Amino acid sequence: MSHNSSPQIVTAHSGSPLNGQIKVPGDKSISHRSLMFGALALGKTTISGLLESEDVIGTANAMNAVGAKCVRQEDGTWTVDGVGLGSLLEPEAPIDFGNAGTGVRLAMGIFASHPIAVTMTGDASLSGRPMGRVLNPLREMGVQVVARNGDRLPASIRGSDTPIPITYRVPMASAQVKSAVLLAGLNTAGTTTVIEPVATRDHTEKMLIGFGAELNVEINESGERVITLQGQPKLQPQDITVPGDPSSAAFPIVAALITPGSDVTVEGVLLNEHRIGLITSLLEMGADITISNERESGGEKIGDIRAKYSKLKGITVPADRAPSMIDEYPILSVAAAFAQGETVMLGLEELRVKESDRLAAVARGLEANGIPCVEKQDSLTVTGGANNIGGGTVATHLDHRIAMSFLILGLAAHKPVQVDDAAPIATSFPTFLSMFGELGGKLENKNEEAA
């Protein structure tokens, strides 16, 4: 559903335990990259388990616009007929990335080293998000940019005929910035180097190697990750199976932990070490979580995660854990509301520039439902165990993770919790409402009642 459509008001009610075995949609990060790398390889890439959300479909459409052919087959797999590195075509019209921050930022990197002009647009939420962090290193490589004030969308870029390889130290923990520079380096003669002071999710590096790029990762004397990429490789098409998204799995896991009588298993979840900070934090809080059937697929570790109702306790989540769980702080805040004592989350400044000011949105949502919290510029403290929580309406600010997190709150709160618009959930987890219905949760969609 488009974010420009009428709001989808949904209310979550408590009282029912959640039980069952489920699969969550494919990982969003890997889905975006599978389509993009498939487009840059010469030949046919086949993708199983692709996340068919608005964000990812937007990336498929973007790759189609520059000459690739991304097609959903009858059996549910996707094929990408790639045009090969250096052979992208100039699109005939502006490319609309909707709400997809990952899609547009990684695409900027790809377009930067191809001699084509591309105009990129997005919805109201994406158009308010900063793009300078990606565009600045691309400018160093020779790309020309025309954008709104603050380097916001719509933005037009003209890729360089002779892009310049650079050495770039990423000033913030951002896998998107790192990936954009590496993707620009793919079609740049010479060696592109990215220095990463704080390690972030490494899907780009693993997948580039899988597609045949010459990429090396070392740790320097300062403990920084130094990633070097040799430009202009011949990328080979691949068969890819996308594992379950740990950021999506976070919602049924936390819902089971805070809802009495619950026992939920999420099958086939990505267990990449840079993506499981939430699991680490929940275990420290005393969560009854077990991981089984661990295996490897496409260079990534996956497994089944079982979560049972638990008596949680407050903890301090250190700032250096933030990169491995940056998308999971809203749902961790909900878990903290049911923990005894204070949960202190540090190093959260990156949440200010997500789909919304996610830190402020979480704090206002907690307050609206009677949960004590203290919001600072880069931290959030939640005091759990309050009596009679719930009963509020949460402003989602077009943010899918805010909407999902507070619906989970309502499944265990003393009073129902309403979100003002659940439509953005389709950007990452289109089966969210139906899946929780199958587990036994009660989510009431006002729009369906009115239809």
Q: How far apart are CA 265 and CA 273, in angstroms?
A: 20
Cite the annotated binding site by residue number: 28-29, 33, 101, 129, 174, 176, 327, 354, 358, 401
Distance from C-alpha of 238 to C-alpha of 408, rounded to nearest angstrom:
37
Helices (H) and strands (E) in the chain, counts: 14, 24
Tell how far CA 369 is from the center of its chain.
Answer: 26
Q: Which helix (H) or strand (E) holds 364?
A: helix 358-368
Task: Kindly name the residue from 327, 378, 399, 421 that is annotated as catalytic.
Answer: 327
Contact 55, 3 (CB under 8 A): no
Token duo for residue 343: 């949960």
Residue 34's φ and ψ, nearest 5 degrees, are -60, -45
Task: Tell me how far apart the alpha carbons of residues 79 and 292 are, in angstroms, rounded to a whole number.
Answer: 31
Of 121, 130, 120, 157, which is closest to residue 142 (Cα–Cα)?
157
Token readout for 298 is 């496409």
Side-chain half-sphere CA neighbours of 359 within 13 A? 19
Instruction: Extract the annotated binding site for 3-phosphoshikimate.
Output: 28-29, 33, 174, 176, 327, 354
Residue 287 carries which side chain, given as an amino acid letter?
A: A
Determine the Cα–Cα distance for residues 447 and 451; give it in Å rounded to an integer.
Answer: 6
Identify any residues that bridge with 343 across adjacent strands, giving them in sequence order: 382
Query: Is 327 among the catalytic positions?
Result: yes
- The two structure tokens encoding residue 407: 């619906």
Q: Is 391 left (phi over 0), alpha (psi -120 to 50) or beta?
A: left
φ, ψ of residue 113 to 5 degrees: the values are -105, 20
Q: How far is it between the farthest Cα atoms of the chain?
A: 63
Binding-site positions for phosphoenolpyruvate: 28, 101, 129, 176, 358, 401
Bridge partner residues of 303 (DSSP)? 269
DSSP state of 11: E
Active site residues: 327
